[in-house]
Amino acid sequence: MHYRYIVSVLYFLLGSGFAALGQVCNLQSCISQALQHNLAVQNSEIKEQRSSIAYTRSWQERLPTLNARLGHGINEGKSIDPSTNQFISKRFTSGNQELTTSMVLFDGLGMLYDIRQQSKRWAADQKDQEGALIALKLDVILAYIQVLTAKDILQQAEVNIETTRAQLQRSETLHKQGAIAPGDYFDIKGQYAAESSSINGLKKTLFDRRVALSGLMNIAERELGELAPLEEQTNDIDVWTADAEQLYQEAQDKLPDFQSLQLKADAAEYAVKYAKSAYYPRLTFGAGLNSQYAGTSSDSYLRQIDNNLGKYIAFGLNIPIFNGFKVRNQVKLARLDQRSQQVENDQKRLELRQNTSRAVFEYKQSYENIALLKSQVTDYKESFRIAQVRFDEGDINSVTYIIAKNKYEQSLSQLTVLQYQAILQQYTLDYYQGKLGF
């Protein structure tokens, strides 16, 4: 029993982070962590909760108010006796009690429009929150792929520098023997230094990418652990047959961010009606009970409350005639807000049309480029192999050798980047179609 307790405590202390040392994290676990702990998502949740409270407040304002007031005091000197309404000069206690209620009977339908406005805003914020979660998934996927890309590029550079190191060692031996041109030797030596510096830059890039991903997950970079490779993608250029316009229409229907646009437009319309309601008279109803108590009376406290009990009901009508154009200006501002919301909606739809068009174009082009780069890598690899043999035999100088080596390594890096970009573009299309999993 004690052994299990100790093991449980150690497990909690050592495994409280997101990932233990050496643990491999996959894309699903990173997305789950981000959805639970991302600060931007938490902020969107707070915004949605505030909208919920605003909606609740709007319909609760239609309820009548009920308030009670109780006051007691000690009087000295010349005062009016509440029980006789005569002046007296003695010390005595007095008190009063009051219970009031009031409610709005008519306010130009202002409260009704406010309820509808807050309802639309709440629904829009709910959609925005849902959209923020989906967008966060895509952001994590992007950051995850960027980490994998940086890692693969770094690994390629580390493999490539081994070839340069071996060539440098061979050149040093030949240089000592005087069997190689000094310029070729120093070219290879400089190439090795350049590749070493490049590796340091790639390490920084990898670290920056890991920091960006861990920031989305709200954890420290050291807690991230190693990232698992992505699952094999069934990417086929023939699978995507829809055009950009179809993707745009589908995105408008599927993405919660754009479902909220109409809700925001409706809320702005009700805001204008709410502002206009201030042009109309306001009719209120009130009622109440009141009583008083005096220590000079021989009656008991409760008897005095009963004997002095007063009741009233009242109706109030407030007719706006002139208020310095306050309501008029409020209506103008509400209409400007409505127009601003419409412009914002149009701007977002324009950006969506551009983004979906770009996504389809880049998706199709990426696979064409991948096919070309694969052929290029094969050709440059063979060219570099030949250049290496000829350089070893002294048929070419170091400049030609280094050029062939750099061409091959650059094409290999470009192919790696494009392959990951193609995967990201597939996820992007899934996002616009509302089919992003996880």
Regarding whether 191 and 50 lie in a shared domain, the answer is yes
Regarding whether 191 and 42 lie in a shared domain, the answer is yes
Regarding whether 87 and 29 lie in a shared domain, the answer is no
Residue 275 lies in a domain: yes
Full residue range of the structural domain in which residue 78 is found = 68-105+282-318
Residue 13 lies in a domain: no
Please tell me the total count of domains within the chain: 2
Which of 265, 291, 318 is the last residue before a domain boundary? 318
Regarding whether 230 and 176 lie in a shared domain, the answer is yes
Regarding whether 90 and 53 lie in a shared domain, the answer is no
Residue 5 lies in a domain: no
Which has the closest alpha carbon to 437: 266, 233, 253? 233
Residue 274 lies in a domain: yes
In degrees rounded to 5, what are phi and psi of residue 22?
85, -5
pLDDT given for residue 6 in this prediction: 37
pLDDT given for residue 233 in this prediction: 54
Which of 290, 318, 346 is the last residue before a domain boundary? 318
CATH number at residue 146: 1.20.1600.10
Residue 399 lies in a domain: yes
Full-prediction pTM beyond 0.85?
Answer: no
Regarding whether 234 and 93 lie in a shared domain, the answer is no
pLDDT given for residue 153 in this prediction: 95
Regarding whether 172 and 93 lie in a shared domain, the answer is no
DSSP letter for each residue of 343-386: HHHHHHHHHHHHHHHHHHHHHHHHHHHHHHHHHHHHHHHHHHHH
Residues 295 and 239: their CA atoms lie apart, in Å, by: 93
Regarding whether 427 and 310 lie in a shared domain, the answer is no
Regarding whether 75 and 111 lie in a shared domain, the answer is no
Regarding whether 289 and 262 lie in a shared domain, the answer is no
Regarding whether 354 and 209 lie in a shared domain, the answer is yes
Residues 85 and 186: their CA atoms lie apart, in Å, by: 115
pLDDT given for residue 5 in this prediction: 40
The token pair that represents 46 in the structure block: 């707070």
Residues 188 and 71: their CA atoms lie apart, in Å, by: 97
Q: How remote is the C-alpha of 422 from its chain's centroid?
A: 25
Residues 364 and 204: their CA atoms lie apart, in Å, by: 32
Residue 353 lies in a domain: yes
Residues 432 and 250: their CA atoms lie apart, in Å, by: 7
pLDDT given for residue 288 in this prediction: 96
Residue 4 lies in a domain: no
Residue 204 lies in a domain: yes
Low pLDDT (below 50) residues in the chain: 1-17, 20-21, 234-238
Which has the closest alpha carbon to 416: 387, 388, 384, 376? 376
The angle that helices 110-177 and 326-392 make with each other, rounded to 10 degrees, is 20
Which of 300, 318, 336 is the last residue before a domain boundary? 318
In degrees rounded to 5, what are phi and psi of residue 419?
-65, -40
Regarding whether 260 and 189 lie in a shared domain, the answer is yes
Which has the closest alpha carbon to 437: 157, 74, 141? 141
Rg of the Cα atoms in the chain: 38
C-beta atoms surrounding 179 within 10 Å: 10
pLDDT given for residue 3 in this prediction: 37
